Amino acid sequence: MSEKVLEVPDLSLVVLVGASGSGKSTFAARHFGPFEVVSSDHCRGLVADDVNDQAATADAFDVLHHIAGVRLRRGNLTVVDATNVQSEPRRQLVALAREHDVLPVAIVLDLPERVCLERNAARPDRDFGAHVVKRHRDALRRSLKSLRREGFRTVHVLSSVEDVEAARIVRAPLRSDKRDDHGPFDVIGDIHGCRSELETLLETLGYAITLDEHGRPVDAVHPEGRRAVFLGDLVDRGPDTPGVLRLVMGMVEAGHALAVPGNHEAKLVRALDGRDVSVTHGLETTLAQIEAIEDDDERRAFRERVRSFADGLVSHLVLDDGKLVVAHAGLKEAYHNRASGRVRSFALYGDTTGESDEFGLPVRLDWARDYRGRATVLYGHVPTPELEWVNNTLCLDTGVVFGGALSALRWPEREPVQVPAEAVHYEPVKPLVAETPVRDDDDLALTDVVSTDGAGRGVETRLAGRVAVAAEQAAGALEVMSRFAVDPHLLWYLPPTMAPAGGWAEAPELLEHPQAAFEAYRKVGVTDLLCEEKHMGSRAVVLVARSRNGLAPWSSTGGVVHTRTGRSFFSEELTVAFLDRVRAAAEGAGLWDELCGPAVGDGAGGGAGEQWLLLDAELLPWSAKAEELLRTQYAAVGAAARAALPAAVVVLEQSAARGLDVGALLERTRERETDAAAFTEAYRRYVWPTGVGEGRLDGVQLAPFQLLAASPLPGDHGPPQAGGAPKSATSGAQTFGDRDHSWHLSVADRLVEADAELGGSLFRTTRRFRVDAADAASCEAGTAWWTELTGAGGEGMVVKPFAGAALRGQKGLVQPGMKVRGAEYLRLIYGPGYVRDLERLKQRQLGRKRSLALREHALGMESLARLAEGEPLWRVHEAVFAVLALESEPVDPRL
Amino acid sequence: MITAGGEDGVVLLTITATASPAMPVARDLGFLLHKHPDRAQSSEVFGGTAHVLWPEAGDERATAVLLLDVDTAALQRSRGRRETPEGFALADHVNDRPYAASSLLAVALGKVFRTALAGRCDARPELPAQPLPLEVHVPSLVSRGGAALVRQLFEPLGWDVDAAAQPLDPQVPEWGESLVVDVHLRGTLRLADALSQLYVLLPVLDDAKHYWVSTDEVDKLVRAGGDWLPAHPDRELVMTRYLRHQRSLVRDAVARLDDVEGLPLDDPSSTIKEALHTDPCTTSLIVEGGVEGVGANEEKATPLAVLRREAVLAVLREAGATSVVDLGCGEGALVRELLRDPRFTRVVGADVSARELEKAARRIGAGSTTGNLPDSVAARLELLQTSATYRDDRLAGVDAVTLVEVVEHLDPPRLPALERSVFAHARPRTVVVTTPNAEHNVRYPALAAGAFRHPDHRFEWTRAEFAAWASDVAERRGYVVVIKPVGQDDDEVGPPTQMAVFTRRDAKEEAA
């Protein structure tokens, strides 16, 4: 028995049609997966506990439509197992398929009545009479002819038990689905009959052009097997539409190019079909040029070839594992690899409002602004003066026919190639001039950072997979980000929180001990460690452009200096002064030229040539940021203690002298006096006078310890050009997570030296000590170093894997650092007399803090990685925002 | 016998009696206090252990000490609301409470000396009624209002006050004085009065109670202050602070104290009237209302916040708006007004602060647990968290967006984002923006020159600055703008509030 092949698009809504007893469920179970089939009987059971309860039919179909709709939205083939012999239920299913832009397919099981009756009789749960089957059969027979008219794009009819037995389902990819085609490609924008420019472009791209016997180009071949992808609008307006078509058709037919249709091709097809179209917008030139072909046979053949070529083009293509989508007018994500009238219409004409502007041209909605997809979308259709990435989309129509340029993008290199127009071939209706760049804050949507349905979100990270952000965390962060943080266009990184080390059995008097940190790293196989002095200041992130007007228009100060919650440290004037000193030091240290390459242009107005550095640092003194806190909280404690304790000691001593039993209380009160004095001493180390209040920088110090990122090297056309960088930055960035910490500190040292040579004292060195955690003597030495540091009043140290921040250990991601805080400093955290409560405090749980530190670390590295790859602002901001959101996690703030 | 208490702090006050005709033997203070002068006694109280000690107990002089051994851990468990600098997560662990004479000490005093406070002394029944020469020492009294307020509150009660504010840090003189005052009181008073005054005034001076105010507090205040409070010149301040600005409680207390003394409340500038009129709509407005409420225009009957809402409502009605987003709705004062008028069929309160929205829901009666709005009203209301600096599709399609006292809370560099999300994205027919008129600030004597009306204001515009911004926005976004005054339009400095009404150009043309 021969197979009967039934072709089904691999994303479609398959509607089974057949009378009760025709074997739909058996058929579905044999040919489709268990989750792909949604059955009306099952849905009756879901809503009414009874698969035969006809009274529940309406509700059951509600559920069925919902399930099918959700599956289709998510891109899963779905089979509806219901009788579907009446037209109304089928109409609803066709509408559902259209709503999700998938093709509806009908598979009809048109089996003889006798077979259905026998099967029903064999099933004890089917006790309805023969009249039901007969009614179904009658309805089905009446429907057969109308199925296509109802909108089913494919109809398979199986009319016998043998047919059913012989059936085999073959899933066919959609015509748009070219995910298996990995290129490489050269994607070419609107040509509009500019044959000469096209030839020049192809040659620039490295293609060898083949000529026919009349010397006309009919093919182009790339020696490395690259292929062109034409984005449509090959025709109209320009001097030689037939020449362009001959070349492009030749390339496509020879397998040297792919093409999608443009709206001009669609109209040309209608014109060639003799339909009534208005011969305007350049169609008149095309038709005239075709008519000018002298030989009648050749002209007729050419017309026929063009018609069939243009008519056969698929409106969009999904290429290279889904990483690249091409469509003439662009395509929103929900339409990728879908098929419907509106998908085709969007691909050809774009997202229009149906209104016209003052020039009579359609008003377009900015779908690219809303685009959040991972696939790069390349398109044309709207002539633009400059190539500009918007959210991972790029319009390659640069108006060659209007005297602009013909543009191509090399894929996957993402490298643009342009040739200028040889002339203004056609006067544009609307002037093709660069609009004054308007500062557009509209890049970020609320839904990029919170979900408006109250659910949580997740951020995918390279280092730790999906990091969950709960709705309430995001809600808190939204307020801080909106009301206090610097402009998101300049907020590229928020530092993660850091977990403390635990105690050490041999030093019971300490809550945190270096040996505990060494051991924690040793346990995960990381033994090469660097201890860095923990400065007594506030964490600061410094973004500085080489020139004061760099990073415009987002910054008027050539950068920002912000806290770990994204607030600016200083007033605008002081920020300018501060950044001037930083950029001068970087200049003196030669960092700009060495790290960012020689300056290109003056950096004015942003764009290429912009140079910047992003530093992770500590800003001192703590009082510069937190004077209010020190005054109202810390000093207030000292003042109250100084007032209360001596008076208490006096009355206790007098009472004791009178023989009252106050023993333990007096002793404890004296201890408290000592503790309070030590507490006061501890906070005073964080206080020194600065000029910040008066708008001066004296007293302020910056201790950088890590170079987070820098502007990309000029000429680096690799990933940095990717999906449209944050408009505030440049395209992409260099990151340095793979450099070891001694490299990072050497950059810092050079800034300190250069600043000193300029006579400044803004920069401060970070002291360091390398420890081999596998060597007991080295660990002892590290402990001694820490003891000396904290004994001299230092806050403590941070132990980091020497190899750098992105290190992975034996069990995955390792802590990027662990803090070991000095005993005196901890009075500021746990209270003046915490040392008398050590046993209880040692029970503190560190697990949650460590987990939080790792998740925030992964997010921080993620935002830098996204910045490095030139991803859109919303992608960078998503990760930055998540760090802030996680900070509201209820973790003991003393850790 | 002294028992071991917590580990964390000590706070104390001493009461010294000297021999006098009314009480010839100073040691008899022990009878009055019901504490034996030759023993140290201790008892568990809220927040720690209270000890009564006698450093001296002679015939001429006797001193009783109430020393509270504060247990911080216990304190944290029952911590009430205190104002702490934003983002200071360690406030639970680093604060002056273990050393500050405040409500904790007052509560301990109320418990340990309960009988004396009640004016009872079974052993020497004649003594409680006798004014006695007393000295009180509170070394670490915390006073929001400094030494001056200590004098202001105690002197009218017959005390000779010696109050010395302590420096925040002697080594950092530029920080100035702390809130800690070393206080000596000397006077001849009945002991019960002295104790009740301390009981009430310690928390009043501290102005940060450790537990929630409830109606019990009214009872306590009436009981403790019944004898001396009605005649105190600062009784309104005392009541307001003691009851932590809870308006209905203040009103209740006023009524009940009036019953005690039958005194009418007739001073319109009094603190209580101030408190009653302060706009409850947002915390920011409480402060702002405070500033704006003490302007030069004495008899202003209607507070500015109310005038502002009336002006905005009038504009919305005139524009025929039926769906309105109040962006930056805070606690929802305008939203409530909108809900009262059925012509507004869709009322959206939007704010960036989830906390404010919760308060708004409670005040409107739409809270998740306290909701009692009729379905027909609830159906017109939506409360959404949003941010003016991100674009939010949910705001599109309404008739009007109001921004009442909102723009000045945004950093100037973020204004273009606000402009886009409101005027380009939501794009309603009508936008109403109100903001302070900086020129008018000179009419607020309480406001320092050059200061803003609220600490969170990022700027305050003059009339010219506001007009320039508004006309630029209107020009860029296709709106027509009219600027109107709100409040009394001063000839010289203009109105206290300025309001811009934007109408979308195409809507204007449709109407025409």
Secondary structure string (H, E, C) spanning B138-168: EEEEECCCHHHHHHHHHHHHCCEEEEEEEEC
Which of A118, A138, A172 delimits the end of a domain? A172
The yes-or-no answer to whether B9-211 and B302-511 have a common fold is no
* Phi, psi of A810, rounded to the nearest 5 degrees: -65, -30
Q: Are the CB atoms for B117 and B181 separated by under 8 Å?
A: no
Distance from chain centroid for Cα B183:
25
Q: Given CB atoms, is A828 within the 8 Å cutoff of chain B? A: yes
Which helix (H) or strand (E) segment holds residue A168: the answer is strand A167-172
Q: Distance, in angstroms, between A506 CA and closest chain B CA? A: 25
d(Cα B337, Cα B317) in Å, to the nearest integer? 12
C-beta atoms of B391 and A637 within 8 A = no
Q: Is B455 on the interface with A (CB under 8 A)?
A: no
Do A68 and A12 touch, CB atoms closer than 8 A?
no
Question: Are A231 and A168 within one domain?
Answer: no
> Would A269 be classed as within a structural domain?
yes
As for the ipTM of the complex, it is 0.77
Q: What span, in angstroms and rounded, lies between the C-alpha atoms of B321 and A152? A: 46
Is A454:A883 a contact under the CB 8 Å cutoff? no
Does the beta carbon of A654 lie under 8 angstroms from any beta carbon of chain B? yes
Give chain A positions within 8 Å (CB) of B410: 483
Answer for the pair B221, B243: CB distance below 8 angstroms, yes or no: yes
In 3D space, the residue among A477, A566, A520, A508 whose CA is nearest the CA of residue A849 turns out to be A520
CA dist., res. B40 & res. B82, Å (int): 33
pLDDT value at residue A740: 94
Tens-place pLDDT, residues A129-178: 778 888 898 898 888 889 999 999 899 999 999 999 999 999 999 999 99
Residues from chain A contacting residue B182 (CB–CB below 8 Å): 643
Instruction: Give tens-digit pLDDT for B325-354.
Output: 999 999 899 999 999 999 999 999 999 998
Amino acid residing at A575 = T
Residue spans of the domains in chain B: they are: 9-211, 213-277, 302-511
Orientation angle between helical segments A241-253 and A283-291, nearest 10 degrees: 80
The C-alpha of B406 sits at a distance from chain A's nearest C-alpha, in angstroms, of: 11
Sheet containing strand A528-534, strands side by side = A499-500, A818-821, A796-801, A528-534, A768-772
Instruction: Record the tokens describing residue B416, joined without a space.
Output: 């273009």
d(CA B210, CA B203): 9
Contact A640 B99 (CB under 8 A): yes
Calpha distance B195→A744 (Å, rounded): 65
Which of A435, A469, A502 terminates a domain? The answer is A435
Count Cβ atoms below 10 Å from residue A425 Cβ, excluding itself.
21
H/E run at residue B510? helix B505-511
- pLDDT for A131 equals 83
Beta bridge partners of A220: A209
Per the structure block, which two tokens stand in for A709?
């990122």
Residue with tokens 């360690």: B90
In chain B, the N- to C-terminal Cα span, in Å, equals 90
A853 beta partners: none
Which of A725, A189, A224, A723 lies closest to A418, judged by CA? Answer: A189
Band of residue B320 on the pLDDT scale cut at 50, 70, 90? very high
A255 confidence band (pLDDT: 50, 70, 90): very high
**Measured distance CA(B321)–CA(B282) in Å, rounded:** 25
The helix/strand/coil state of A75 is coil
User: Percentages helix, strand, coil for chain A, rounded to the nearest 5?
Assistant: 40, 20, 40
Nearest to B309 by CA among B335, B288, B345: B335
Inter-chain contact A655–B55, Cβ cutoff 8 Å?
yes
Q: Does B12 touch chain A (CB under 8 A)?
A: yes
The span from the CA of A60 to the CA of B2, in Å, is: 76
One-letter amino acid at B99 equals: Y
Residue A452 belongs to a domain: no
B298 confidence band (pLDDT: 50, 70, 90):
very low
- The residues pairing with B11 across neighbouring beta strands, listed in sequence order, are B68
Once rounded to an integer, what is the mean pLDDT over residues B122-150?
93
CA distance A105 to A154: 5
Test the A interface: residue of B169, B180, B459 with most A CBs within 10 Å: B169
pLDDT averaged over every residue in chain A: 89
State yes or no: pLDDT of A431 exceeds 90: no
What's the mean pLDDT in A287-308?
Answer: 93
CB contact under 8 A, B53 and A652: yes
CATH number of the domain located at residue range(s) B302-511 in this protein: 3.40.50.150
**Shortest Cα–Cα distance, A248 to chain B (Å):** 42
Same domain, A123 and A186: no
Comparing B421 with A600, which gets the higher pLDDT?
A: B421
Q: Quick one: which of B178, B231, B236, B182 has its CA closest to B204?
A: B236
Residue A753 falls within a domain, yes or no? Answer: yes
pLDDT of residue A836: 83
On chain B, the residues whose CB falls within 8 A of the CB of A645 are 10, 99
Residue in A369, A491, A655 to test binding to B, most B beta-carbons within 10 Å: A655
The most confident of the ranges A6-20, B235-249, B368-382 is A6-20
A643 and B95: CB-CB below 8 Å?
no
User: Which of B54, B87, B142 lies nearest to residue A640, judging by beta carbons?
Assistant: B142
One-letter amino acid for residue B341 of the chain: D
Residue A873's CATH number? 3.30.470.30
Whether residues A32 and A129 share a domain: the answer is yes
Of the candidate ranges A268-282, A743-757, B77-91, the one whose mean pLDDT is the lowest: B77-91
Confidence (pLDDT) at A390: 84
CA distance B507 to chain A (A): 17
Same domain, A192 and A95: no
Shared domain check, A416 and A339: yes
What gap in Å lies between CA A481 and CA A878, rounded to an integer? 12
Residues near A435 by beta carbon (within 8 Å), at least 6 away in sequence:
none
Q: Is residue B293's pLDDT more than 50?
A: no
Kindly state whether A629 is in contact with chain B, defined as any CB-CB distance less than 8 angstroms: yes
Decide if pLDDT at A376 tops 90: yes
Any domain includes A464: no
| Mean pLDDT calculated for residue range A829-858 | 88
Which residues in chain A have their CB less than 8 angstroms from residue B175's CB? 631, 635
Q: Are residues A99 and A16 in the same domain?
A: yes
Q: Which fold has domain B9-211?
A: c-terminal autoproteolytic domain of nucleoporin nup98 (3.30.1610)
So what's the pLDDT on residue B229? 87
Residue A51 touches partner B, C-beta closer than 8 Å: no
Contact state of A661 with B1 under an 8 Å Cβ cutoff: yes
| Distance between CA atoms of residues A17 and A426, nearest Å | 55
Three-state SS at A373: coil
Please report, for the domain that includes residue A312, its CATH number.
3.60.21.10
Nearest-angstrom CA–CA distance, A396 and A388: 9
CB of A82 closer than 8 Å to CB of A64:
yes
In a domain, A824, yes or no: yes
Residues B204 and B101: beta-carbon distance below 8 Å: no
What does the pLDDT look like over A310-354, one tens digit per residue? Answer: 999 999 999 999 999 999 999 999 999 999 989 999 999 988 766
Residue A776: partners with Cβ closer than 8 Å, 6 or more residues away: none
Residues A672, A763 share a domain: no
Determine the distance in angstroms separating the CA of A386 from the nearest CA of chain B, rounded to an integer.
24
pLDDT score at B196:
92
- Residue B79 is predicted with a pLDDT of 47
Task: Scan for tokens 């670490």, then name that residue.
Answer: B140
For B152-176, the pLDDT digits (tens) are 999 999 999 999 999 999 998 888 9
Please judge whether A663 and B424 are an interchain contact, meaning their C-beta atoms are less than 8 angstroms apart: no
Interface of B with A in 39-68 (CB under 8 A): 39-40, 51, 53-57, 63, 65, 67
User: Do A380 and A273 belong together in one domain?
Assistant: yes
Q: b/e string for A344-353 if b means 16 or more Cβ within 10 A? A: bbbbbbbbee
- Per-residue pLDDT band for A729 (boundaries 50, 70, 90) equals very low
In whole angstroms, give the CA distance from residue B466 to residue B472.
Answer: 10
Name which of A333, A437, A441, A390 is nearest A872 in CA terms.
Answer: A390
pLDDT at A872: 85
A636/B95 touch (CB, cutoff 8 Å), yes or no: yes
Minimal-distance CA residue of chain A relative to B425:
A442
Strand-pairing partners, residue A799, are A531, A818
Asked if the C-beta of B182 comes within 8 angstroms of chain A's C-beta atoms, the answer is yes
DSSP A832: T
Task: Please give, rounded to a whole number of angstroms, the shortest distance from the CA of A836 to a CA of chain B.
Answer: 8
The residue-averaged pLDDT of B36-46 equals: 91
Name chain A contacts of B99, Cβ cutoff 8 Å: 637, 640-641, 643-645, 676
Cα dihedral angle (A273, A278, A282, A287), rounded to 10 degrees?
40
Q: Are residues A34 and A130 in the same domain?
A: yes
The Cα–Cα gap between A202 and A211 comes to 14
| Same domain for A200 and A302 | yes
Please identify among residues 540-569 of chain A the ones whose CB lies closer than 8 Å to any CB of chain B.
Answer: 556, 565
The residues that bridge with A142 in the sheet, in sequence order, are none
Both A599 and A682 in a single domain?
Answer: no
Q: Quickly state the pLDDT bin for A609 (edges 50, 70, 90).
A: low
pLDDT, residue B391, reads 86
Q: If you average pLDDT over residues A738-748, what whole number do you get?
A: 95
User: Rounded to an integer, what distance in angstroms lies between the CA atom of residue A473 and that of residue A458?
Assistant: 12
Integer Cα distance of B421 and B424 in angstroms? 6
Residue A211 has pLDDT above 50, yes or no: yes
- Spatial contact of A217 and A199, defined as CB atoms under 8 Å apart: yes
Quote the pLDDT of residue B339: 93
Query: A421 pLDDT exceeds 60?
Result: yes
Number of domains in chain A: 4
Q: Which of B172, B284, B406, B415 to mutate to test the interface with A (most CBs of A within 10 A)?
A: B172
Cβ distance B168 to A631 less than 8 Å, yes or no, reads yes
Cβ-defined contact of A645 to B10 (cutoff 8 Å): yes
Report the pLDDT value the prediction gives residue B209, as an integer from 0 to 100: 56
**Residue B271 DSSP code:** H
Best residue in B11, B359, B389, B456 for a mutation probing chain A (most A CBs within 10 Å): B389
Q: Which residue has the tokens 């050809």?
A: A348
A468 close to B (CB below 8 A): no
Query: What phi and psi, each to the nearest 5 degrees, are found at residue A436?
Result: -55, 130
A120: domain CATH number is 3.40.50.300
In A, minimum Cα distance to B166 occurs at A639
For A683, the domain range is 625-687
B76 touches chain A (CB under 8 A): no
Q: Is B173 on the interface with A (CB under 8 A)?
A: no
